[in-house]
Amino acid sequence: MRELSAPKGVSEYFPPRSQYFEFVRETLISAAKVSGYQLMELPAFEDTELFKRGVGESTDVVSKEMYTFEDRGGRSITLRPEGTAGVMRSVIEHNLDKLTLPIKVWYSGAFFRAERPQAGRYRQFYQVGIEAIGLNDPEIDFEVIAVADRAFKALGLKSYRLDITSLGDSKSRASHRKDLQIFLDTLDLDEATRARAAINPLRLFDDKRVEIQRVMEKAPLLLDYLSEESAANFAKVQELLTGAGIAFTINPRMVRGLDYYTGTTFEFVSDKLGAQSGIGGGGRYDGLMAELGGNDLSGIGFGLGVDRILLACEAEGIFDSTEVKSELELFVVALSSAEKNFVAGLVNELRNKGIKCDMAYGDRALKGAMKSADKSGARFSVVIGSDEIETGKVALKEMKTGTSKEVRISALSDEIKAN
């Protein structure tokens, strides 16, 4: 019988490393919640047309990387490759734009792209994202970037940088596109590349081929074509970032991998990850909502890659010096099988009172049971034998220091909550 294994290119997490994955994810989510973002839980698959219209047919995501299949009803379905298009579809479908603006939501979960697997690049990967929809305001652009930066600082990351640019408004892009197309017409491009450029010429700035990167060094830059309003907005974002002490570098050639970006666009890059160095990014996407059939409202957001951020944390040795606390507060050991019924009932009662606790199962000797207590990461442990049951008192041991304190069994929950 063939041995079963996870599909190639899938990132999965299991104990003990899963606690670090959870720590990273929850820290990213906490930064969003602190700024007033609320949960939006999205479907894992959508109508394929959503991504074709929302992400852009000239992108590698749509043209090469989507997991698309036909369901039993003959409908074309795609596993979500990113989150913004799904958020916009939900906002339109449920009339959330009729509420107070901006709409501020966060989401997290698995996303899917049929890429060539390598370190930090997976076919199933995890993101935490936020979207602020409804207003075109440089203060919101700043807020979105600051949420990500705050999350990275909370994790303890230091070796990362922020690249920013502006992809302008429709007026800026139309003026730039005209000159960029004239420039591209002078190049000897293969048929596929020229067809891609005809849909969105900015995509060539994102081309990874060395020969294309070399010729694009002389291409006109969109930053030089910003309208007065776009230039003023971008200047304001820079002013706010500088005032907040968030360092950044202007990268005029950055376009990112999705067609819907306009205005402020940004990416966070780790210095510790080699080729797959992007740990998150995003930007403004004015016009996307209208493209998907909704009102013409502005929006900005980001997607942060939990997998790569975890790798960056590990590369910086954060988990060597930062204690990621176990959720477990108490580990209970029965001295012999005679006390196991009592211990099982006590653990259940403590859990009912909100104490996160576990017990030693099986017929392990005391030494083996205490090893389980150590490995559990619990803050406290108690050993219960016939004497403890008779007196109603236990020695509550603090695992980190090894110190013990006599506590009544009936007062265990209060004692743990107080400490």
- pLDDT tens across 367-379, in order? 888 998 988 889 9
Around Cβ 167, how many Cβ atoms within 10 Å? 25
Could you report the per-residue pLDDT of 255-268, keeping only the tens digit for each? 876 667 889 999 99
Mean pLDDT confidence for 109-117: 91
Q: Is the pLDDT of residue 254 over 90?
A: no
Residue 131 to residue 174: CA distance in whole angstroms: 26
In CATH, the number for domain 330-418 is 3.40.50.800
Q: Is the pLDDT of residue 325 over 80?
A: no
Residue 151 to residue 157: CA distance in whole angstroms: 9
Domains of the chain, by residue range, sit at 18-169+227-321, 330-418
Q: Is the pLDDT of residue 58 over 70?
A: no
Question: How far does CA 309 lie from the centroid of its chain?
Answer: 8
CATH topology assigned to domain 18-169+227-321? BirA Bifunctional Protein; domain 2 (3.30.930)
Q: How confident is the model at residue 321 (pLDDT cuts 50, 70, 90)?
A: low
CB distance 79 to 44 below 8 Å: yes
CB distance 333 to 360 below 8 Å: yes
pTM of the prediction?
0.88
Q: Exposed, middle or buried, 28 (CB in 10 Å: 0-12/13-18/19+)? A: buried
